[in-house]
Structure 1
Amino acid sequence: MARILAIDYGGKRCGIAITDESKIIASGLTTVDTKDLLSWLKDYVPNEKVELFIVGEPKRLHGEASESEKLIQPFLLKLADVFPDIPVKRIDERFTSKIAFNTMLASGISKKKRRNKALVDQISATIILQDYLYNQ
């Protein structure tokens, strides 16, 4: 069975999350430097069956696209070019970083580890993916 892979796309780093083969549980996988994301995906996807990409859609409070969307659009074009057979769905990612930080706080992660922005990005990708699974 194939998995679903979620990307929390950022200017410097991208959080990556993946489902189990039954597509029930979302788990944080890693954080990748944005400049290395496509090459990382080219290595990862052939070894794991991925049937769908979920990419966070950054929006402002009232629903309009945020400035970050300008960075994501060129990536989406490249992603579709490299993986033409894998569809991409977008999920509203408003507040995921805040939710990720609060999750870290509630789970007792140390202050030093909470400063790790890569971990926040990975948890954010997991929240985006879990949101997709929940609302599917």
Structure 2
Amino acid sequence: MARIMAIDYGKKRCGIAVTDTLQISANGLDTVLTENIFKFLKEYLTNEDVETLVIGEPKRMNDEPSAVEEQIKVFIRGVEKRFPKINVEREDERFTSKMAMQSMVQGGVKKKKRREKELVDKVSATLILQSYLGHTL
């Protein structure tokens, strides 16, 4: 079975998570500078079989798209052009950064480590992927 990958897209960084090959568990993979995301995807997708790419959909409390949504749409068009065989899905990502912080606190991650934005982005991508998997089971 192919993996499912999730991306928490941001203006500076993208958090990345993937499933195991049985698509049972979501695991944080990496955090990549947004300017390097296509290079990372090309390298990863050359070595791993990924069938679906889940991209976080940031919304405001009133369900309107957030300011970064236009950049995400440009990113999605780039993904569809470069990797046409990969299915692209969206998943609501409201509160994932807050939930990521809470899960790190509950998991005993030290305060200094929790300040690392890269870790928050990677955990957020994992939460997006877990949410997506919860809808597909």
| TM-score tier after normalising by the smaller chain length | over 0.9
Q: Which amino acid aligns with 2:119?
A: L
Q: Which amino acid aligns with 2:106?
A: A
1:133 partner SS: helix
- Taking the aligned partners of 1:7 and 1:32, their CA distance within structure 2 comes to 10
Aligned length: 136
1:79-132 CA distances to partner (integer Å, 9 max, x unpaired)? 000000111000000000000000011111001000000000000000000000
Is 1:129–2:122 an aligned residue pair?
no
1:25-57 CA distances to partner (integer Å, 9 max, x unpaired)? 000000000000001100100110000000000
Moved over 3 A (4+): none
Aligned to 2:120: 120
Is 1:71–2:71 an aligned residue pair?
yes
Q: 1:71 Cα shift?
A: 1.3
Q: 1:72 Cα shift?
A: 0.6
- Taking the aligned partners of 1:90 and 1:115, their CA distance within structure 2 comes to 27
Aligned to 1:12: 12
- Taking the aligned partners of 1:132 and 1:96, their CA distance within structure 2 comes to 13
Q: 1:6 Cα shift?
A: 0.3
Give the CA RMSD over aligned residues: 0.5
1:85 partner SS: coil
TM-score (norm 2): 0.98
1:1-136 maps to which residues of 2 (within 5 A)?
1-136=1-136
- Percent identity over the alignment is 54
Gaps in structure 2 of 5+ consecutive residues: none
Q: Which amino acid aligns with 1:133?
A: L
TM-score (norm 1): 0.99
- Taking the aligned partners of 1:126 and 1:51, their CA distance within structure 2 comes to 17
